[in-house]
Amino acid sequence: MSLLEFDAVTKIYSVRGAGQIRALDDVSFTLQSGHTTGLVGQSGSGKSTIAKILTQLETPTTGEVRLGGKPIPRRGKGLRSYRQQLRMVFQDPFASLNPYHSIGYHIQRPLQLDNVVPKEQLDDEVRRLLGRVHLEPNTVIDRRPHELSGGQRQRVAIARALASRPQFLVADEPVSMLDVSIRLGVLNLLADLQREEGLGVLYITHDLATARHFSDEIIVLNQGRVVERGAADDVILRPQDPYTQRLRTASPDPDRHFGSATGIIGGTQ
Amino acid sequence: MTAIQPQPFTDDSDSVEADTTPTNAVKGHSRIPWRFLGGRALFYLFTLWAAITINFFLPRMMKGDAVTQYLARNRNVTPEAAEALRSLLGLDTDKSLLQQYVEYLGLLLRGDLGVSLLHGLRPVTEVISQSLPWTLGLVGFATLISFAIGTIGGAIVGWRRGSKLDALIPITTFLSTIPYFWLGLLAIALFSVNLGWFPIGKAYGVGISPEFSFEFIGQVIHHGTLPALTIVIASLGGWMLGMRNMMLTVLDEDYVMVAQAKGMPNSRVLWGYAARNAVLPQIQSFALSIGFIVGGTIVMEVVFSYPGLGKLLLDATNAKDYALMQGVFLVITLSVLLANVLADIAYAFLDPRTRQTED
Amino acid sequence: MKTSVNDTSTSRPAWTPETALINTLHKRRGGYGPDKPTFWTKLGSAFAMFRNGKSIAGLSILGFFVLVAIFADVLAPYSPTAIDNTARFQPPSAAHWLGTTHIGEDVLSQVIHGTRGVIVVGFLAAIIATTIAIIVGVISGYVRGWRSEGLSALTNVFLVIPGLPLIIIVASMFDEPPLILIAAVLGVIGWAWGARVLRAQTMSLRNRDFIQAARANGEPLHRIILVEMLPNLMALIAASFVGTVTAAILGLTTLSYIGVIPVTTYNWGTILNWAGAQGAFRQDQWWWYMPPGLCIAAIGVALSLINFGIDEYVNPRLRSAGERARAMKKKGLNVNDTVTAVRPATTASPSLPTENS
The DSSP secondary structure of B63-83, one letter per residue, reads SS-HHHHHHHH-----HHHHH
Flag whether pLDDT at A158 surpasses 90. yes
Residue B209, classified by CB atoms within 10 Å of its CB into exposed (0-12), middle (13-18) or buried (19+), is: exposed
Reduced to 3 states (helix: H, G, I; strand: E, B; else coil), residue C334 is: coil
At B164, give phi and psi (nearest 5°). Answer: -65, -20
pLDDT tens-place string over residues C9-65 = 333 333 333 333 333 333 333 334 445 556 666 666 667 777 788 888 889 999 999
Structural contact between residues C307 and C245, judged by C-beta atoms closer than 8 angstroms: no
Mutate to test the interface with A, among C38, C41, C209 (most CBs of A within 10 A): C209
Dihedral of the CA atoms B203, B206, B208, B211 (nearest 10)?
10
- Sorted by sequence, the CB contacts under 8 Å of residue B86 that are 6+ apart come out as B67, B92
CA distance linking residue C150 with residue C140, whole number of Å: 8
Give the E-state strand segments of chain B in sequence order. 115-116, 122-123
Type of residue at C76:
A
Mean pLDDT (whole number) for B183-210: 76
Q: Provide the pLDDT for residue A39.
A: 92
ipTM of the complex: 0.84
A223 neighbourhood in chain B, CB within 8 Å: 23-24
Q: How do residues A67-100 score in pLDDT, each as one tens digit?
A: 888 888 887 888 888 999 999 999 888 889 988 8
Q: What's the pLDDT at A170?
A: 93
Other Cβ atoms within 10 Å of A76 Cβ, number: 8
Q: Are B328 and B309 in contact (CB under 8 A)?
A: yes
Nearest to A90 among C35, C37, C209 (CB): C209
Q: Which residue has the higher pLDDT, A14 or B22?
A: A14
Contacts of B179 in chain C (CB under 8 A): 250, 253-254, 257, 293, 296
Evaluate whether B182 touches C276 at the Cβ level (below 8 Å): no
Q: Is the pLDDT of residue C264 over 70?
A: no
The verdict on C37 touching A (C-beta cutoff 8 Å) is: yes
Task: Provide the edge-to-edge strand list for the sheet that holds A217-222.
Answer: A86-89, A168-172, A200-205, A36-40, A217-222, A225-231
C354 Cα distance to chain centroid: 47
pLDDT at A111: 92
Segment B130-182, tens digit of pLDDT:
888 888 888 888 888 999 999 999 888 888 877 788 788 878 877 877 888 88
Show residues of chain C in contact with A109, CB under 8 Å. Answer: 214, 217, 219
Nearest by CB to A21, which of B15, B22, B28?
B22
Whole-number Cα distances in Å, B144 to B136, B148, C162: 11, 6, 17
Q: What is the pLDDT of residues A228-262, one digit of tens each?
A: 888 888 888 888 888 888 888 776 654 554 444 44
Q: Range with the lowest mean pLDDT among C225-229, C270-274, C276-280? A: C276-280
Chain A contact present for C25, CB below 8 A: yes
Closest CA to A136 of B305, C15, C306: C15
Please enumerate in sequence order all residues whose Cβ is within 8 A of that of B184, keeping only pairs 6 or more positions apart, or say none: B226, B227, B230, B300, B303, B304
Mean pLDDT of C201-213: 88
- The answer, for A15 touching chain B at a CB cutoff of 8 Å, is yes
Distance from CA of A58 to the nearest CA of B (A): 10
Q: Which residue has the higher pLDDT, C302 or B294?
A: C302
Half-sphere exposure of A19 (CA within 13 A, CB side): 11
Contacts of C145 (CB under 8 A, 6+ apart): none
Flag if C34 and A147 touch (Cβ within 8 Å): yes
Position C104 pLDDT exceeds 90: no
